[in-house]
Structure formats: C-alpha cells, structure tokens
C-alpha cells in the first residue's frame, strides 16, 4: 500500500508498505478523504507542535473518513474520531476524554495518521456516515467537532454578540454554530480577504480585514470600507459602541489574542482555540484583570461526532462549501504547500478514490 511519511520540515515522501493487520478491538480501514489541519501544518513546517517533536518519520492526518474493510460491517462508510482515550485516568473518569493523560491521537507524536491507503483504528472511534453525507463531509466532522466544543465552552445565550478572530475552517464553523445558537450579532476578522468574504457568506454581519498585528483592523463592511484604525474601535462601533459578549480566538496569532481581549465586554469570555507557532501567547494582564474576563482554552473535542453528523445531515451547518481544493495522495506535497500558503479554505487529500 502507499503511505506518506513526514521525514522533516517540508520533507514528505511516499513509500510502499505492508497492509496493516488489526489487533483485537481494531478494524481495518480503507481511507477515503483526509483534511489538512492547521496542526498538520505545524508538523509540516516546524517538525512539531507545542512540546511534541518529530523524532521519527510520521504519517500525518487526523481529519478523515474511511470504508470498513472486512468483518460484519464490511463496506460501511465511517467518519473516524482520531482520539483514543484510555477511559480510566482521572480526566476520562470526570468526563473529559479530550484531556486524557494517555490519549492516542492519529498523526501526532509517535502515532501514524491517515495519509495512507489502509490503517487500523479502534472500533469505538468509528461513526457510520448517513447516505446523504459524502466522504469529504465525513472528514469535515472533526474540525466541526472542535468548533462545537469551543462553542460549548462559551455557553452562548440567545441575543449575545460574538466575535470570531480568525476565519479559517474552524472559525467559519464557529460562526455558523453561533448563528444557530441565537447570536444577535456576529463580528469576524481575518488577514485574508477570501476568508472574511466566506465569513460574511456564512453569517457574520460585520467583517474586518486585519494586518495580523495587534488591533490592526481595516473595515470591509459597508460602513467604512478602506479605513484603517489602530484600535478595535471599528468592532465597537459595529456593535453600538459595546464590546462582544464572547470572543473566539481561532488564528493562533498574538495579534488576534490581543484583539479578542480588547473587544470583549467586562465580565465576558475569551475562548482561545488557535495554536501559536512558537507555543507562546501573552495577555495584557491589566486589561484582563480589570475586565474580570473568563479565559478558556480549547483542547480538541469531546463527545461531538453524533451531534456533528446530525447538524450536517439536517443541513444546519454547511461543511461542503469550505472544501476548496482536492489532491490525490500522490500530490499530497503540493496539497500541503497550498495549505501552507493559506490558499482557499479546507484542503482535502483523496485516498483510494475509485480503487
């Protein structure tokens, strides 16, 4: 079978390998669609993420769908939860499998992911895809799950105002979920014009281009096109001179963190979902303290696949329009290059298509 391994920064190599044999409790899977995530790009560009470093060639890919190969469910299409929690550690026992101290995660550390033709995975992590969902939809359920978890942490209430700082795929999914949760106004920012346009199309009432630095916003809404201001005053103006109730930082950049903190109301919440390249963020301590802000950090997801499948199946969340580029496994290096340049939105690598 064909398998793609990362050997170092920007060094992806396609190999031939033996088809894996499932252990007890595992299922052999024929991989179909794999999404490239921002965390995959950290591995690709920096040979690591946070304190996890590349010590041996690694197969990336944790957003994926597959077809069960063999057994009673042979041929069944599934979305695959990339996290196998132990179920017995204290976080697991308290209902936080996403914080499991012994978690096994596809495409991370020493565990190979889905950029290969066949793989084995824990049976409990397989979720059957309804007929109306495509293989690509199945791969998109993982980032949707992260967005659901982020919104869960925010405890959104009807009538709240929401800010989304970073409009990659997860930010765009948060916008849709905030709309479904009854947000009265959604304000979104990003450095890339095509992303703020996507945010507007998916439900954000006010969108702003930012230069990526702290409070470097350029308004692209109908009330001030082309203006640049050194503060978040445009966001406040868009919301009647009032801050947002909840700010989601989904960019992984210091400027987005500072804008989120500056834009939220006293007593509000800041949900930090982005992953910074240097594994560091800083906060204006005086502002955070004076505002009495609640800060929450997003660690993957927990128990979200059934909800994600239902939302997409019922047409309440659009994942399909977020997929803008598709590449076969043999062109995965080009797919990663496109993703690294932040072209389009979600990049999908197709595996075993038509085989």
Residues 88 and 223 in one domain: no
Assess whether 17 and 112 both reside in one domain.
yes
316-321 own/partner pairs: CB under 8 Å, 24+ apart: 316/176, 316/180, 317/144, 317/173, 317/176, 317/177, 317/180, 318/176, 318/202, 319/137, 319/140, 319/141, 319/144, 319/173, 320/134, 320/136, 320/137, 320/140, 321/198, 321/201, 321/202
Q: In the prediction, which pLDDT does 284 show?
A: 92
The per-residue pLDDT for range 173-215, each reduced to its tens digit, is 999 999 999 999 999 999 999 999 999 999 999 999 987 554 4
**In Å, how far from its chain's centre is CA 18?**
31
Count the domains in the chain. Answer: 2
- Point out the residues of the chain with pLDDT beneath 70: 212-231, 353-355
What span, in angstroms and rounded, lies between the C-alpha atoms of 236 and 231? 10
Q: Give the model's pLDDT for residue 150.
A: 98
Same domain, 188 and 287: yes
**pTM over 0.85, yes/no:** yes
Determine the pLDDT at residue 164: 97
Burial class (CB in 10 A: 0-12, 13-18, 19+), 338: middle
pLDDT in tens, 108-164: 999 999 999 999 999 999 999 999 999 999 999 999 999 999 999 999 999 999 999
Q: What is the CATH number of the domain that holds 190?
A: 3.40.50.720
Same domain, 118 and 187: no
Same domain? For 92 and 195 the reply is: no
Q: What is the pLDDT of residue 278?
A: 87
Q: Would you state the pLDDT for residue 240?
A: 87
**Per-residue tokens: 213:** 């630095």
In a domain, 324, yes or no: yes
Q: What is the pLDDT of residue 33?
A: 98
Answer yes or no: is 313 within a domain.
no
Same-domain status, 160 and 28: no
Cα radius of gyration rounded to whole Å, the chain? 20
Whether residues 175 and 273 fall in one domain: yes
Domain presence at residue 142: no
Question: In this structure, are 156 and 240 located in the same domain?
Answer: yes
Does 175 lie in the same domain as 75? no
Domain assignment present for residue 340? The answer is yes
Looking at residue 222, its pLDDT comes to 35
- The predicted structure's pLDDT at residue 58: 98
158 is a domain residue: yes
Q: Is residue 88 part of a domain?
A: yes
Both 168 and 277 in one domain: the answer is yes
Same domain, 262 and 157: yes
**In which domain, by residue range, is 222 found?**
147-297
Pairing between strand 294-297 and 264-272?
Answer: parallel
For residue 136, tell me if it sits in a domain: no
Provide the CATH number for the domain around residue 76. Answer: 3.90.180.10
Are 122 and 191 in the same domain? Answer: no
In this structure, how many other beta carbons lie within 10 angstroms of the beta carbon of residue 185? Answer: 19
């Amino acid at each position: 079978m064909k398998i793609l391994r990362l050997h170092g920064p920007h060094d992806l190599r396609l190999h031939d390998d033996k088809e894996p044999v499932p252990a007890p409790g595992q299922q052999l899977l024929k991989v179909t669609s794999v999404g490239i995530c921002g965390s995959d790009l950290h591995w690709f560009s920096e040979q690591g993420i946070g304190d996890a470093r590349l010590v041996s060639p690694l197969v990336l890919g944790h957003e994926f769908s597959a077809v069960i190969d063999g057994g009673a469910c042979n041929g069944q299409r599934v979305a695959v939860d990339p996290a196998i929690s132990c179920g017995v550690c204290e976080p697991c026992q308290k209902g936080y499998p996403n914080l499991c101290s012994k978690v096994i995660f596809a495409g991370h550390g020493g565990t190979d992911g889905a950029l290969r033709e066949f793989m084995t995975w824990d049976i409990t992590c397989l979720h059957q895809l309804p007929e109306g969902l495509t293989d690509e939809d199945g791969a998109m359920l993982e980032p949707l799950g992260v967005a659901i978890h982020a919104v869960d942490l925010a405890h959104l209430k009807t009538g709240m105002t929401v800010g989304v700082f970073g409009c990659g795929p997860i930010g765009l999914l948060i916008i849709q979920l905030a709309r479904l949760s009854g947000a009265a106004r959604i304000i979104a920012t990003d450095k890339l014009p095509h992303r703020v346009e996507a945010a507007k199309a998916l439900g954000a009432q006010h969108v702003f281009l930012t230069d990526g630095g702290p409070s470097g916003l350029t308004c692209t809404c109908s009330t001030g096109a082309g203006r640049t201001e050194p503060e978040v005053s445009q966001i406040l103006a868009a919301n009647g001179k009032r801050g947002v109730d909840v700010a989601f930082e989904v960019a992984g950049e210091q400027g987005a963190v500072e804008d989120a903190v500056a834009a939220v109301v006293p007593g509000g919440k800041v949900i930090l979902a982005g992953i910074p390249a240097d594994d560091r963020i800083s906060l204006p301590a005086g502002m955070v303290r004076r505002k009495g802000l609640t800060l929450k950090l997003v660690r993957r997801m927990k128990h979200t696949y059934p909800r994600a499948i239902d939302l997409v199946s019922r047409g309440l969340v659009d994942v399909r329009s977020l997929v803008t580029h598709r590449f076969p496994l043999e062109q995965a290096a080009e797919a990663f290059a496109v993703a690294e340049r932040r072209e389009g939105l979600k990049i999908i690598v197709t595996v075993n298509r038509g085989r």
